[in-house]
A = this chain, B = another copy of it.
Amino acid sequence: MISTAEELRRYGAMTEARLSTLMELKCEPGTLKDAMSYSLIAGGKRLRPALCLMTADMFGSAVQALDIACALEMIHTYSLIHDDLPCMDNDVLRRGKPTNHVVFGEAYAVLAGDGLLNLAFEVMLDAAVKNEGDGLNYLGAMHVIASAAGVRGMIEGQACDIAFEGQDKDEEVLRHIHERNTGAMIRASVLSAAALFRASEAEAAALAAYGEKLGLVFQIVDDILDEVGDEKTLGKSVGKDADAGKQTFARIYGIEASRRIARDLTREAQDALRIFGTRASGLASLAQYLLTRDR
C-alpha cells in the first residue's frame, strides 16, 4: 500500500506541474507575474490541492479536478500575501523566504494577491468553458469555493482576527475564527471535488463533516507545534503566536488536553468517512498523518 507521505508527494508534483503551466501567462509588466509566481511556486504543503485531488480520485480521477485544485492553492496563496502585508500581520518571513511585499513592495503585493484570487476563478472558468459537458458540475465546484473563500468564510475569519486582536478569546470565539480562517477552505477542498463529480447529498454531508473536523485538527496541531515544535523541522520560528499574545487552543487547554481533543476530532473525521468504505482509506490515513505531523 502506498504511504500517505508518498501520496502527498504525488499530488504535490501534479499540482506543481500544472501551476507552472497555468502561470505561463503573458502580462506586462513582468513584475506582476513575478510577484504572483514568487509566492505561488514557493513550495508549501499543497494540502488543499491534495485533499481535492484525493477526493476526486475517490469519485473518478484526480486529473479532472486538477484546475480546481490549483485554484484552491491560488486562493490560499493570495490570502497569505495579503495577510503578511504591513497593515495586516506585518510578517517579513514565510517558509524561510522574505514575504511578497518585502521583495516586490506593497503595491505589487496587493495586486499580486488580487491577481491570484481573480486568476483562480479564471482558471476554473477556462476549464468549465472547455469542458462544457461538465459545465454545470464546475458551477457547483466554483460555488462551493467562492462561498468558502468569501465574507462568510475565509475573509470573515481574517476580519475576525483583526477585530479580536489582543483580546481574550474563549473557545467559542476561537472556533468561530478557525472554522472560517482555515477550516472553510479545507472543507471546500474536499467538497469542491465532491461537487465536480456530483456526489450524493449523503456523500457531500459526510465529506463536509470530515473536512470540518480535519480543519480544526490542522489548526490545533499548528498551535501545538508553535509551542513545542522544532524550529529547524518546521522551517519557521516557534512561539510566535504566544509572543504575540495570540490565544490558541494550546494556551486555553494546555498541550496534553489539546492533543487529546485533536485525537478525538481525528477519529470523528475518520468515522464520518464510513459510508465510503475502503474507498476513503486515503482520506482516513491523511487525517492520521495530519494529526501526527511534526512540521
**B122/A159 in contact, CB under 8 A:** no
> How many copies of this chain?
2
A145 to chain B minimum Cβ distance, whole angstroms, is: 9
8 residue pairs from A and B, CB less than 8 Å apart: A25-B151, A27-B151, A82-B110, A87-B107, A87-B110, A111-B159, A113-B114, A119-B150
Interchain CA distance A128-B128 in the complex, whole Å:
13
**Which residues of B have CB within 8 Å of A105?**
87
Interface size for A (C-beta < 8 A) is: 54
**Which residues of B have CB within 8 Å of A113?**
114
**Which residues of B have CB within 8 Å of A27?**
151-152, 156, 159
Which A residues, 3 to 24, have Cβ-Cβ distances below 8 Å to chain B? none
Interchain CA distance A57-B107 in the complex, whole Å:
39
**A118/B151 in contact, CB under 8 A:** yes
Given known A25-B152, A31-B163, A132-B136, contact A158–B111 (CB-CB < 8 A): yes
Given known A87-B106, A160-B29, A163-B31, contact A129–B117 (CB-CB < 8 A): no
**B115/A118 in contact, CB under 8 A:** no
- Interface SS of chain A: helix, strand, loop or mixed? helix
A126 at the interface (CB under 8 A from B): yes
A275 at the interface (CB under 8 A from B): no
Tell me the nearest residue of chain B to A176, going by C-beta.
B28
A210 at the interface (CB under 8 A from B): no
Of residues A118, A128, A159, which shows the largest number of chain B Cβ atoms within 10 Å of its Cβ?
Answer: A118
**Which residues of B have CB within 8 Å of A135?**
135-136, 139
Interchain CA distance A53-B88 in the complex, whole Å:
38
Interchain CA distance A71-B11 in the complex, whole Å:
34
A158 to chain B minimum Cβ distance, whole angstroms, is: 6
Tell me the nearest residue of chain B to A33, going by C-beta.
B151
